[in-house]
Structure 1
Amino acid sequence: MKLPFSLCLAFAFSFTSCERHAELKRELASLQASSKQDEAAIQKLDQDIASFGGTGATSRYSEQAQLKQEQLRPLEFAIPPRERQLSAIETEFARLKPAAEAYKAAHLK
């Protein structure tokens, strides 16, 4: 069984000497301040999670990613033929380039 934090502190303060009373008050104040900061951080995280779609957003994002992968899969198969066509055009261009330069040089005069 877990006792509430304030009950534990009250119990601790009731059996402490006066010498440690001020020190314990400072520790209590610092613990309360850190507790408030933690609570504020938790609230900010909750707000951030809510702004990104809540806790169910992960499943939605994975479904969307799967749909995008299914849309991209056909494009993956279309790229190699296009690359081959581009390579053929570049080869033909490289073959015709010397003739084009010779034609330009001959007709500049």
Structure 2
Amino acid sequence: MKLPPFFCCLVLCLTSLSCDRHTELKREIAALDATLKTDESATRQYDKDIAALGGREGLMHLLEQGQIKENQLRPLEFVNGPRERKLSAIETEFAKLKPAAEAFKAAQPK
């Protein structure tokens, strides 16, 4: 059985630690405890901030507003298509007329 020798070794190691190591471990534990307390304090503050902004219901409200805005913008996407085609047709006509306009300008006496 490997279990009893392991426990014997563990007990031997823990009982034979020097006093210097105990103070070092206590300092590390105190530092970790202080870090834990500041983290808990920050977590509580985040929870308060989230609750002040509406909590989980606030997220649902934002999602609903996003969906409403998306529904409002969707029809505008279809309106721009015909306008862009008309603008493209006008630009094509101007491109066709430009050489004639330049030739007319060149033919005019100054």
TM-score, structure 1 normalization: 0.70
Larger Rg: 2
The residue aligned with 1:43 is: 44
- The amino acid that maps onto 1:106 is A
Q: How does the TM-score come out when normalised to structure 2?
A: 0.69
The structure 1 segments of at least 4 consecutive aligned residues displaced by more than 4 Å after TM superposition are none
More relative contact order, 1 or 2 (CA 8 Å, 6+ apart): 1
Gap runs ≥5 in structure 1 = 1-15
Instruction: Count how many residue pairs are aligned between Structure 1 and Structure 2.
Output: 94
Q: What residue number does 1:103 align with?
A: 104
Unaligned runs of 5+ in 2: 1-14
Across the aligned residues of Structure 1 and Structure 2, the Cα RMSD in angstroms comes to 2.4
Task: Give the aligned residue type for 2:62.
Answer: Y
The match for 2:30 is: 29
Q: 1:97 to 1:52 in 2, by over 3 A?
A: farther
Query: 2:7 maps to which residue?
Result: none
Equivalent position of 1:66 in the other structure: 67
